[in-house]
Amino acid sequence: MLRGAEILFSGRVQGVGFRYAAKQLSRRFSVLGTVENLSDGRVKLLIEGEFTEIEGYLEALLEDNHGTVMDSERIGKPYRGEFSGFEIIG
């Protein structure tokens, strides 16, 4: 079943290549979405895909960025099919 999620990452996530790493990692999983810096210093990830692909992607992203991401807040979102790839915004 296809799902969507919004994840807000905080910590030292801007200016360290986090968005680029998130995009590169998306190539290993069947996920689509966007990643962007927010003015408050957090990074917002919008993602869609199968539940297991999203979970695997997020686990790998957090593992690869251990020490950079201090906290993450996940908000469930309905699947909308709005993405055709994985893009960095801004």
Q: Report the catalytic residues.
A: 19, 37
Q: β-pairing, 69-77 with 43-50?
A: unpaired
- CA distances (Å), 46 to each of 62, 86, in order? 15, 9
Cα atoms found within 13 Å of the Cα of residue 72, Cβ hemisphere only: 22
| Alpha-carbon torsion, ordered 11, 76, 28, 13, to 10 deg | -10
